[in-house]
């Protein structure tokens, strides 16, 4: 298979999409050649020899469209690429539809967002399959849906024998947006501190829009009013390479996300061997094999009181018990969400790899 992979950013240092470089490495192992078409590229030094990169650029709508069309024509015509996989942006698939059809190339989309809009509906019509991490990650009714699990780099997030720091630290990672509901987490921290718990919280991530900026101001205000200014650190955007260090020093990872889908950062924390708390209902099936521990790792959306109780209960366990729970969680990721296994499956589903 000669694969054309289309994405927004190809940069190992990117705070949000740094993992894409690792995806491309995995795809390259299963393909004859991979060409990445990206809006922008940065640190790509780790890419293997059978990968090349084309940059579209972010400026000028017409300019971007023309460059993308040119890259498509070169790939499908002159250079013999036979398959296209678009990452997260349905428009990449619809713009490529004509060129792919003329070349007889397969068209595929990776999409893990609960929102459904007209762009996704149009893309569904032109692609052969849509890959997604969980049933809840793609909310469109289609026979083209293929649930594959996520792709987590176990080596990148290996705990490396490091123990959590003391006093205990909670950790949340991801874009600071209302859909992630960080205010509930802050309320839970205030409750815990009021009850005498010596804990700290690391918030890793930044806002991206004007609305997000307003939320950051709300976060800063709640930290001040809640009397936890000396307990909470806002680290902003952290390069992908720097994120594992936060998982390793954390005692517990908390996700207050309201999306309802399998959040990749929860799986990253599990890969780092750390107990997790989440309100996303999609994790019920993932935690089911943990028996009595399953309920201990979940809480009701927006319920700061219940979240505080769950945190307190996990902190009350001895260190060895939490370590064992973390090991069991890491084993789930290794079995069901390992990055190279996902890349091999995607290639197989697209008709290659054999």
The 10s digit of each residue's pLDDT in 193-227 is: 999 999 999 999 998 888 888 898 999 999 999 99
Task: Evaluate the omega torsion of the peptide bond into residue 162 and state whether it is cis, within 30 degrees of 0.
Answer: no
Buried b (16+ CB within 10 A) or exposed e, 36-45: bbbbebbbbe
- The predicted model scores a pTM of 0.94
Alpha-carbon distance 176 to 189, whole Å? 17
Q: Which domains does the chain have, with CATH numbers?
A: 2-151+338-349 (3.40.50.2000), 169-336 (3.40.50.2000)
Alpha-carbon distance 143 to 338, whole Å? 25
Sign of CA dihedral 337, 341, 347, 350: negative
Which residues, at least 6 apart from 295, have a Cβ–Cβ distance to it below 8 Å? none
Phi, psi of 227 (to 5 degrees): 65, 35
pLDDT at 353: 66
Q: In what order do the strands lie in the sheet with 51-55?
A: 51-55, 33-41, 2-10, 83-87, 106-110, 129-132, 145-147
pLDDT at 291: 84
- Distance from the Cα of residue 190 to its chain's centroid: 28
Regions of the chain with pLDDT less than 50 = none
What are the tens digits of pLDDT across the range 17-76? 999 999 999 999 999 999 999 999 999 999 999 999 999 998 888 999 999 999 999 999
Cβ pair 256, 307 in contact under 8 A: yes
């Amino acid at each position: 298979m000669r694969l054309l992979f289309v994405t927004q950013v190809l940069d190992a240092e990117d705070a949000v999409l740094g993992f894409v470089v690792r995806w491309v490495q995995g795809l390259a192992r299963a393909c004859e050649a991979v060409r990445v078409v990206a809006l922008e590229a940065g640190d790509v030094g780790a890419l293997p020899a059978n990968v090349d990169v084309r940059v579209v650029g972010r400026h000028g709508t017409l300019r971007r469209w023309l460059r993308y069309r040119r890259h498509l024509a070169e790939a499908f015509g002159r250079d013999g690429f036979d398959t296209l996989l678009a990452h997260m942006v349905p428009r990449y698939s619809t713009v490529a539809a004509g060129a792919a059809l003329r070349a007889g190339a397969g068209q595929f989309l990776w999409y893990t967002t609960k929102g459904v809009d007209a762009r996704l509906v149009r893309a569904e019509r032109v692609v052969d399959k849509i890959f997604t991490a969980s049933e809840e990650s793609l909310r469109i009714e289609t026979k083209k849906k293929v649930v594959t699990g996520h792709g987590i780099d176990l080596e990148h997030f290996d705990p490396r024998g490091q123990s959590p720091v003391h006093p205990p630290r909670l950790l949340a990672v991801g874009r600071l947006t209302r859909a992630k509901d960080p205010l509930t987490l802050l309320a839970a921290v205030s409750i815990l501190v009021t009850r005498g718990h010596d804990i700290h919280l690391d918030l890793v991530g930044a806002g991206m829009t004007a609305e997000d900026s307003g939320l950051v101001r709300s976060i800063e205000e709640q930290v001040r009013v809640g009397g936890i200014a000396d307990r909470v650190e806002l680290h902003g955007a952290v390069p992908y390479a720097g994120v594992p260090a936060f998982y390793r020093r954390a005692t517990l990872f908390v996700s207050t996300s309201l999306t309802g889908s399998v959040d990749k950062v929860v799986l990253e924390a599990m890969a780092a061997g750390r107990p997790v708390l989440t309100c996303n209902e999609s994790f019920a099936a993932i935690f089911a094999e943990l028996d009595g521990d399953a309920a201990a790792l979940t809480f009701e959306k927006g319920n700061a009181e219940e979240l505080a109780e769950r945190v307190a209960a996990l902190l009350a366990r001895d260190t060895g018990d939490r370590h064992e729970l973390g090991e069991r969680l890491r084993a789930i990721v290794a079995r069901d969400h390992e990055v190279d296994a996902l890349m091999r499956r995607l290639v197989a589903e697209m008709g290659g790899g054999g």
